Structure 1
Amino acid sequence: MSEQTTTNNQSIVDRVHENVHSVNPFNKDGEYGTKNVVLYKFLTILSWLLVVITSVYYTFARPREGHSKSDRHRIWQHQPHTPFAMNEIIVSIYWIVLYVMQMGYVVHFWHREEVYVKAAANVGVHFVAHNLFLFGFIMLWCRSYYYWAELLLIVNFFNLSSAYFRHSTTPRFIHIPVVSGPLAWNFVALYWCGAAAVNAHTLPARIVANIFIWGIGAYGMFFLVAFKDYTMGVNLSVLAAAIGVSQFLTHIIAFQWIFAFVIMGVLFVFSVAVAGGAAPGLKGGEVVSEDRERAPLLDSAEDSV
């Protein structure tokens, strides 16, 4: 009788474990049940709408609560004129394009080919987490909580980096809006928010910024050389241009805007060369390969990062 009871209890535990496993968003690649896909559909749409509505609202309105009234501002209102301040028009267009492309990513969950559904699900957790972190960042940024906003950017940087290196064979039109586009912005935003947090307005701060800005170029070249990922190169070149335009308009007698435009030019030229196959010396994992659209899920060991 005791053995029968033990067997029944074990059977119940196994069934519970299977049910939980079927809806666990942290499953390994390809282990997605119907319940899990439905959950992803709901969470991706909800989190995407949350961050889009929030960003649009705070582009035109400022918070009604928080610090003193002078510390509550719209996303681009009273942008601290630090060495990493970005042009609002360029960055806004950048995010509008990403938001539109992210709509295409969400549609992949309804794709009739299972490989595309799996590809979308593979990065689903990272996408939802990114949206929540971005929502929190906007809320904190508009209330001048720059240090806490920087902390969220750091956590999101690890989240997006994990998505990048864990799912290197994601189809291009998922990779760009969910991984490389947000990751490039998050990296540059670390400088943007960090400079605002430390109130980098002094001459020594600008000298330090003249050195740190080259980190954007080095970061972009890392992906171009190691992975031949021209999408990261293009994304970072656009954001470098945003810094360059802003610095030129506010501090014309300075090196920062010159460095930003140099970085923009170098990254863009190398990105075009890699995309066109004119840079055979840049060998690597080819995160963005020409075959990705035809083979969105490459499960063999040699295709992993």
Structure 2
Amino acid sequence: MPNASEVASRVHDGVHSANPFQTVSSHSKNSVIAYKIITPISWLVLVITSVYYDFAAPHEGKYSRHTIWRQNSVRHSPFALNSIITSLYWIALFIIQIPYVASLFQNSEQVENHNTAYNLAPHFIFNNLLWMGFIHLWCRSYFWWAELLVIVNFFQLTFTYFRYPSTTKITHAAALAGPLAFSFVALYWTGAAAVHSHHFAGRVAANVFIWTWAVYGGFYLFVFKDWTMGFALSILSAALGVAQFLTVIVAVQWIEAFIIMALLFLVSLAVAVPGVVGKEPFRRGEVVSEDRERAPLLADSSNNV
């Protein structure tokens, strides 16, 4: 008969094995199969939902119903985005997510940091489901509920970002930096639409809060050397600047957006170029081999002998 400590240990292991967001060093056969099935399905459903609501408005709902970008025009705000640039951003993001999804089906010997890909899978699935729910709510004018989903996704992606510092560049951009950057921008985009901040006071507040984009991007650039986050926010700042310029020319919001875009782009380029040419490692996305991790320890041990 097991004693109390053994029972407590089994309960602890059971709770952690049931938690899909727990960082683990290995995965069971059943969890691997589940990730291989659910991950591509969630990605495909989000792609289909995004494309469908780009061109078709929902037929049911209590409030006004529009396509994604028609809603962006109807609820125009100081944080409204340009449809073309933002759509290209998401198309590029969906494309670079394909190698990450494909990596789940490759052998661990073929893919570096293979276990991290499975650790990221539940967060990636959750991100896809939340964005799918967001699109349904956004197109049906449930802005506050849509904002709630954005907040939840922003925090879960932020926690995931700090939990997995070692991923490949493509996986980092596809599963972490790209979705997180848009989640941050969507906090303002959806919130401004929810309060319908097209009035003077709303624009004055927007002229102040837009600089948090530069601060947020600068944090990841200077602390983590994450140029993928910098470039992502630079593109989205361009989407904001173009949208504001084409609708409200006599304003400073588009000027500030373009200034932030330029700053983030230049700093991101300065951070990225040394890593690309091999002078400085990619701090966030670099995958360090086991031999390289052990090298300093081996050197120390040899000196002590």
TM-score class, shorter-chain normalisation, is: 0.7 to 0.9
> Any conservation in 1 of the 2:21–2:123 contact (CA below 8 Å)?
no
How far 1:116 sits from its partner (Å)?
3.7
Question: What pairs with 1:86-105 in structure 2 (closer than 5 Å)?
Answer: 86-105=81-100
- Aligned residue for 1:164? 161
Question: What pairs with 1:44-59 in structure 2 (closer than 5 Å)?
Answer: 44-59=39-54
2:60 to 54, 57, 65: 65
- Aligned residue for 1:150? 147
**Where in structure 1 do 4 or more consecutive aligned residues deviate above 4 Å?**
10-24, 296-300
Distance 1:297 1:267 in 2: 35
How far 1:90 sits from its partner (Å)?
0.4
> Any conservation in 2 of the 1:105–1:174 contact (CA below 8 Å)?
yes
Distance 1:142 1:95 in 2: 17
Q: Deviations over 1:181-234 (max 9, x none)?
A: 000001001000000000001111101100000011110000001000000000
- Aligned residue for 1:76? 69
Q: Deviations over 1:235-255 (max 9, x none)?
A: 000000000000000001100
How far 1:11 sits from its partner (Å)?
9.7
- Aligned residue for 1:3? none
Counterpart check, 1:205 vs 2:202: yes
The 1:155–1:229 alpha-carbon spacing in structure 2 relative to 1, beyond 3 Å, is same
Which secondary structure does the structure 2 equivalent of 1:276 belong to? helix
The 1:103–1:261 alpha-carbon spacing in structure 2 relative to 1, beyond 3 Å, is same
Counterpart check, 1:41 vs 2:36: yes
Distance 2:10 2:159 in 1: 31
What stretches of structure 2 of length at least 5 have no aligned partner? 297-305
Which secondary structure does the structure 2 equivalent of 1:277 belong to? helix
Counterpart check, 1:31 vs 2:26: yes
| Paired letter, 1:253 | V
Distance 2:99 2:247 in 1: 37
> Any conservation in 2 of the 1:241–1:260 contact (CA below 8 Å)?
yes
Which secondary structure does the structure 1 equivalent of 2:96 belong to? helix
- Aligned residue for 2:233? 236
1:252 to 222, 246, 249: 249
- Aligned residue for 2:273? 276
| Paired letter, 2:168 | P
Counterpart check, 1:221 vs 2:214: no
Q: Deviations over 1:41-84 (max 9, x none)?
A: 1111121112111111111111111024xx10000014222100
- Aligned residue for 2:300? none
**TM-score normalised by the chain length of structure 2:** 0.86
User: How many equivalent residue pairs?
Assistant: 286
Distance 2:173 2:167 in 1: 9
- Aligned residue for 2:301? none
Distance 1:84 1:163 in 2: 26
How far 1:122 sits from its partner (Å)?
1.6
Distance 1:49 1:111 in 2: 19
How far 1:295 sits from its partner (Å)?
3.8
The 1:65–1:271 alpha-carbon spacing in structure 2 relative to 1, beyond 3 Å, is same
Distance 2:244 2:290 in 1: 40
**TM-score normalised by the chain length of structure 1:** 0.86
How far 1:275 sits from its partner (Å)?
0.7
Distance 2:161 2:83 in 1: 27
The 1:293–1:7 alpha-carbon spacing in structure 2 relative to 1, beyond 3 Å, is closer
The 1:205–1:34 alpha-carbon spacing in structure 2 relative to 1, beyond 3 Å, is same
The 1:7–1:90 alpha-carbon spacing in structure 2 relative to 1, beyond 3 Å, is same
Report the identity percentage: 48
Distance 1:124 1:258 in 2: 39
1:113 to 108, 115, 138: 108
The 1:24–1:244 alpha-carbon spacing in structure 2 relative to 1, beyond 3 Å, is same
What stretches of structure 1 of length at least 5 have no aligned partner? 1-5
| Paired letter, 2:77 | T
How far 1:21 sits from its partner (Å)?
6.3
| Paired letter, 1:195 | A
Higher mean C-alpha displacement, 262-271 vs 126-135: 126-135
